[in-house]
Structure 1
Amino acid sequence: MAKAFASQGDLDVKEITWTQLSENAYAYTAEGDPNSGVVIGDDCVLIIDTTGTPAMAQQLIAKIRSVTDKPIKYVVLSHYHAVRVLGASAYFREGAQEVIASRGTYELIVERGEADMKSEIERFPRLFAGAETVPGLTWPTLVFEKEITLFLGKLEVKIAHPGAGHTKGDAVVWLPSQKVLFSGDLVEYGAACYCGDAQLAEWPATLEALRALGAEKLVPGRGPALVTREDIEQALNYTKDFVTTLLESGRDAVAQKLDLKGAMAHTRKVMDPKFGHVFIYEHCLPFDVSRAYDEASGVSHPRIWTAERDREMWDQLQG
């Protein structure tokens, strides 16, 4: 029996958890759904990732308003994927003045933002509830190359591109005085790594750059907020294991001259026993295998996913 396309069959509402990490930092998580982060400074609020639609963003705004009435001045995009960025317009009604992203994220929005929006909404409709409230693509108003520093009053907030991984433009938010890190999808915990647009060979080095920060609290892209060094180490190691195992499987498949369907079968033998139980694994795996096979074949820049390409690939690998 064919599997439902991507996550169209995932209709169960997840329980939202609102966790205070420090005097200024909060995590908004939901059982393996995409996470958001919140930093409340002396005079304003900064958001990391917006949820998928303005309608869905209202739940996060309600959590923020339960603890502060300060204006939401900054919106940070950890990367370009629609599920992270399309809710941005909701925050302009709350005082947002800047949408901040890396140069790489801006370039990816230009190149593939429209295709990604259509692709993601079809893949996972539950994460785009109220899609009719999305006014269009989210465009950064402030683009940085490597790192910028903001001060929310006296609170120092660093926004950096530590290297490629989940995409070529991943950004993290770091509170050095409190050792709190918001990693976006560069780090996952208890959930599959979506690698359809990844730079797999570069990802491990980027993880080591994050490890070197010595974070004491970390909000991954998916999974619970991590509040001990032990859990953070486990998450970093888990993510590194996932992406390296995936790429090695892709390289093995290419070396054996397997076709893409053969690569899927080969990768399953290695990945399923280790990762088959985690959130969104079956959703991610065919996209992951496709990217690993491409990268192992010398395709350095990920091909654009369209709604049509999604369906063709899914029928081939999961049908």
Structure 2
Amino acid sequence: MRSLISIACIALVAAPVLASEDIADKYPASLLYDKPWEVIPGVFSAIGATAPPTYENAGHNNNLSFIVTGDGVVVMNGGASYGLAKALHAEIEAVTDQPVKLVFNENGQGHAVLGNNYWAEQGVPIVAHVDAAAEVEAHGPAILKAMQGYNKDRAEGTEVQVPTETFEEEYVVEMGDFRIEARYLGPAHSPGDIVLWLPKQSLVISGDMAFHERMLPIFADTMTADWLETWDTAFEPLEATYVIPGHGHPTNMDQVRRYTKDYLEYLRDQVGAVMDEGGGLAEAYYVDQSPYTHLDTFEELATKNAGRVFEQLEFERF
């Protein structure tokens, strides 16, 4: 287990530790892409690959975190499959004898919810925002089919399981030594995005509110103007010392701001300049995003992101 000094070196330096899509699976003995490590006392995270989901990484391309409270374990994210959830549970049991008492889904995406049926088998309540639960109900079979397409035999045992409990604004857990505040801060990356805020520890498990080391994707239902407003009015005011982002290594607020808020503002400005000059969608696809070429998934996402921002600005302006 890495020491707190090691964490400080990784998380709080001014320049980020860059990931690579070419790095092989870091934990071949497990379906997990990497072994969980202790970010601060009692809070662990298994850092996912910063590449798209593949058979090789078993869909573990987001961060699967858990909190050992002293009176039970709270997990953030069901995982991308039954097998991946089971693998995470094995790692939890290697760390503590305390039972898992609660699982949160950071949103309704596959890597957050497709392991839910494993946790339901263990009798663990699964909590999500009402909008995330609605996503699972509406699109669960399609999400499952997409995962089965890349995960093949590693998808075995996975079934759609909707969250068993939902909330709209806040779900507070007082357990052991921790106060855990699950908060819906407002529209962000996808419907029902939530964060877990640990006020005593000044740590936020941000889910997809914040990204680090990989380019964020802008989906058809990702309203970038709303995301920026939520960031400014609700996420930034947390003033978290430690951030476990949805993707990328644990870090600080400066770094996730750089690769989330600053990127969204930069891209909106670049695309807006194209529109001001009378350019159309074809020109918008190729705006300069060179300050972000070092991020993983840049090749997969940069032009798509620009196109979606163009469509949003077109709607906002006209």
* TM-score bin, normalised by smaller chain: 0.7 to 0.9
The counterpart of 2:207, out of the listed 184, 197, 204, is 184
2:80 corresponds to 1:56:
no
Please give the secondary structure, in 2, of the residue aligned with 1:185. Answer: strand
2:285–2:304 contact (8 Å) kept in structure 1: no
Match of 1:100 in 2: 127
1:253–1:293 contact (8 Å) kept in structure 2: no
Match of 2:110 in 1: 82
The counterpart of 1:169, out of the listed 192, 203, 207, is 192
Moved more, 60-69 or 16-25: 16-25
Structure 1 residues 72 and 276 mapped into 2: Cα distance closer, same or farther (>3 Å)? same
Deviations 1:95-116 (A, max 9, x none): 41x2111122223334444444
User: Unmatched 5+ residue regions in structure 1?
Assistant: 1-8, 301-319
In 2, Cα distance between equivalents of 1:152 and 1:29: 24
1:193–1:243 contact (8 Å) kept in structure 2: no
Q: TM-score w.r.t. structure 2 length?
A: 0.78
How many residue pairs get aligned? The number is 279
2:310 corresponds to 1:293:
yes
Deviations 1:1-22 (A, max 9, x none): xxxxxxxx98942451422133
Match of 1:46 in 2: 74
In 2, Cα distance between equivalents of 1:87 and 1:71: 17
Match of 2:159 in 1: 135
1:46–1:74 contact (8 Å) kept in structure 2: yes
RMSD over aligned Cα, in angstroms?
2.7
Match of 1:316 in 2: none
Q: TM-score w.r.t. structure 1 length?
A: 0.78
% identical equivalent positions = 23
Please give the secondary structure, in 2, of the residue aligned with 1:186. Answer: strand
Give runs of aligned pairs for residues 1-319 of structure 1, distance below 5 A: 12-15=24-27, 16-32=34-50, 33-96=61-124, 98-119=125-146, 125=150, 130-136=154-160, 138-196=161-219, 197-208=221-232, 209-226=234-251, 231-255=252-276, 258-265=279-286, 267=287, 270-271=288-289, 273-298=290-315
Moved more, 207-216 or 14-23: 14-23
User: Unmatched 5+ residue regions in structure 2?
Assistant: 1-20, 28-33, 51-60
Which amino acid in the other structure matches residue 126 of structure 2? Answer: V
2:116–2:162 contact (8 Å) kept in structure 1: no
Deviations 1:194-249 (A, max 9, x none): 111312002223223222212222110111112xxxx3312223211111222334
Deviations 1:40-73 (A, max 9, x none): 2232211111221111223311221111122212
Which amino acid in the other structure matches residue 43 of structure 2? Answer: A
How much has 1:293 moved relative to structure 2?
Answer: 2.6
